[in-house]
Amino acid sequence: MKNARGVMLVMVIWALTVGMVIAAELARSMRIEGLTAATYQEEMQTYYLAVAGVHRALYAFVHAAQQGKTLLDQPGALDTSSEEEKGDIWARGDGRWLQEEYGAGGYWVRVSDEGGKIDLNQVDELTLRQTFTNLGLDAKLGEELTDAIQDWRDTDPLVRLHGAESDYYLSLPVPYSAKDGPFDTPDELLLVRGITHALFYGRDGPGLREVFTTYAGAAGGSVNLLTAGPLVLQAVLGIDAAAARDIVQQRAESGRADLASLFPGGAGGVANFGLPVVVTIESLGYLNNSRVTRRVAAVVQRMGSNQFRFLRWQDQSPSPPGD
């Protein structure tokens, strides 16, 4: 009898232990599901805040064109000195970040003129090679990138001295053929031999995504120095990084001064004082009481003063270092 009672006691203890384990696991699962739901809600909120930032900048971009403004602070030109007209910073398209509070959070937005970058499909071999030299890349790497980019975009299967065609790309662990045609997006550079994610996004080098574009053709061709970022100024003008940053700073602070006088030797034929035609709008949505953020991006082409069209939309835009 005593043995039976002992067995029953052990069984009860085991049942209680199993029940406690199950209860603890259920509590943990419910907590995880609750946190997941809360995080999802915050992600949705930050996503739509980021989308709101895109539309806010897009409004400034189109509204400035409707008012007939230009990049010069003259009658009818952009005025970034007043709070009411601070959105005109976005209309300039010179890549400056601007923050606005909205609802329970806000957004950081910048607008970059695609005409202020080097067009991958139009740049010639000499300029391409000089670009990599001016950006401070190793001479051998610069030669390899120059030839590989040309092999990717040309229509023939001939391999340049330091280039690569389909034979190389088909030998990779994940094989694919060479494009043998024009680049569709700047991200396509990641498929070209020698261009790593670190080099493209600026984690180990100049950040080629800030230098090259595939949309400048729609904006008129040559690089516009009045909207170009510091890396592009460095690549085009052959100046060092510090001098390029100084030009960007002076350009942002210039009012009625002749902006072209900021550049060594003058801006010549590469200073376009009209508003940008094709821009990339990057928007980062955030909540005041959360670390969750969401970043989106859009490439927009202005068509006249009242119309525009989206050339590209990215729901998950990568964040370069330093942004």
Distance CA 120, CA 223 (A): 12
Q: What's the CA gap between 69 and 229, in Å, rounded?
A: 21
Structure tokens at 144: 């390899």
Q: Are residues 237 and 169 in contact, defined by beta-carbon separation less than 8 angstroms?
A: no
DSSP for 73-135? SSTTS---SSSTTTTHHHHHTB---EEEEETTEEEEEEEEEGGGSEETTT--HHHHHHHHHHT
pLDDT at 39: 73
Where residue 266 falls (left for φ over 0; alpha for ψ -120 to 50; beta otherwise) is: left
Q: Flag whether the pTM goes above 0.85.
A: no
Closest CA to 294 of 29, 86, 21, 51: 51
Per-residue pLDDT tens digits of the chain, which is 323 residues long: 556 666 677 777 777 777 777 777 777 776 776 666 667 888 899 999 999 999 999 988 888 888 777 776 544 455 555 555 566 778 888 888 999 999 889 999 999 999 999 999 999 999 999 999 999 999 999 999 999 999 999 999 999 999 999 999 999 999 999 999 999 999 999 999 999 999 999 887 789 999 999 997 655 567 888 888 999 999 988 889 998 898 888 877 765 445 656 666 555 445 567 788 899 999 999 999 988 899 999 999 988 777 889 999 998 776 654 45
pLDDT value of residue 256 = 44
Residues 6+ apart with CB under 8 A from 289: 104
- Please report how the helices 139-153 and 125-134 are oriented relative to each other, as an axis angle in degrees rounded to 10: 140
Q: In the prediction, which pLDDT does 171 show?
A: 95
Angle at 101 between CA 100 and CA 106, to 5 degrees: 90
CA dist 271 → 63, 107, 209, 267, 285 (Å):
22, 31, 22, 5, 33
Domain ranges of the chain: 1-117+211-323
DSSP classification of residue 82: S
pLDDT score for 65: 82
**Contact (CB, 8 A) for 292 and 46:** yes
Element (H, E) at 243: helix 241-253
